[in-house]
Amino acid sequence: MSTNAGLRNLRARRRQADRRYGARLLASAGLASVSAVLFGLVLILVEGQWRPLQRLDTSAARRLHSTALDHPAWASTLHVLSDRVWDPVTLRLAVAVLTVWLLYRRAWRLAAWAAVTAVAGGLIGLLVKTVVERARPDLQDPIAHAPGYSFPSGHAMTATTSFGIFLLVLLPLIPRAWRIVSWCLALLSVLGVGFTRVALGVHWCSDVLGGWLLGLAVVAATAWSFQTWRVEAGRGHTAVTDGLEPEITHDAPEDDAAQP
């Protein structure tokens, strides 16, 4: 009797674990799908030159640009944040350093995920820019200039993918009490990037929104793929709040880490 009860309990726990995994996987797929659909909607409105969106873009660009012109110190701060702190090159180099560190830790698949997510995000953003060919804002007395097309914002998309990578890789190394702070800092940075690009007059609001949504879709899609691999490899289920690979805290190589 005790053996049968133990087997039933084990099966019940497995069913519960499977349901939790299914919910998490569905959530990842749903997030990727919703982000992609919303991005497609923004793209349609941009391409169709929807007047309410155009008015919003124009109004926000002119107001923020006027404020920057009237406050040179504020404009200088925006330049530092946009061109140095949150610059795509800086963020991509940070992701590259993180990837090298993961390789040093022999976290091969996690390193591959980080690299693929960053590269895919950059290439997809460039492809969409080339296809849409949207012109950047043309403001009187511009305080900043940027090459290339406008939609989606490369800064906003790179920030979304980069900070998503940082969080999903490094969360297992961050004490639980500080994880909410990490999420808040990442969100603040992503939002700040978008604000600086509009305030500097080099992007429309819809460009930034498109960059956020497309970047989120890329991260969610690749994270979904990584979670699927974990289960197929017998590594168990993880919540996004625990990062993609909790075993990164172990000193043992990824392939030799203890199975859950």
HSE-up (13 A, CA, CB side) for residue 119: 8
What is the pLDDT, as a whole number, of residue 235?
A: 67
Instruction: State pLDDT tens for residues 53-78.
Output: 888 888 888 888 888 888 888 888 88
The residues spanned by each domain of the chain are 2-256
Question: How high is the mean pLDDT of the chain?
Answer: 81
- 1 band by pLDDT with thresholds 50, 70 and 90: very low
* Residue 196, C-beta contacts closer than 8 angstroms, at least 6 positions apart: 78, 81, 82, 86, 155
Please say if 203 is a catalytic residue. Answer: yes
| Rounded mean pLDDT, 19-34 | 61
What is the pLDDT, as a whole number, of residue 20?
A: 53
Q: Which of 71, 155, 237, 250 is catalytic?
A: 155
Q: How many helices (H) and strands (E) does the chain have?
A: 8, 0
- Which candidate, 223, 218, 219, 157, places its Cα nearest to that of 190? 157
Q: Can you give the pTM of this predicted structure?
A: 0.81
Is pLDDT above 50 for 259? no
- 214 band by pLDDT with thresholds 50, 70 and 90: very high
Cα separation, 39 vs 95, in Å, equals 24
Cα separation, 64 vs 200, in Å, equals 8
Q: Which two tokens stand for residue 156?
A: 């906003």
Please say if 155 is a catalytic residue. Answer: yes
What is the pLDDT, as a whole number, of residue 8?
A: 55
Q: Which two tokens stand for residue 221?
A: 């899609």
What is the pLDDT, as a whole number, of residue 26?
A: 61
- 5 band by pLDDT with thresholds 50, 70 and 90: low
Contact yes or no for 231/71 (Cβ under 8 A)? no
Cα separation, 227 vs 26, in Å, equals 11
Q: What phi and psi values does residue 198 have, to the nearest 5 degrees? A: -75, -40
More confident residue, 208 or 86: 208
Cα separation, 39 vs 22, in Å, equals 25
Identify the weakest region by mean pLDDT among 2-16, 72-86, 113-127: 2-16
Contact yes or no for 86/102 (Cβ under 8 A)? no
DSSP letter string over 123-136?
HHHHHHHHHH-PPP
Q: Which of 65, 71, 79, 203 is catalytic?
A: 203
Instruction: State pLDDT tens for residues 223-249.
Output: 888 877 777 666 666 666 777 887 777
45-51, long-range: CB < 8 A, 24+ apart = 45/206, 46/132, 46/134, 46/151, 46/206, 46/210, 47/132
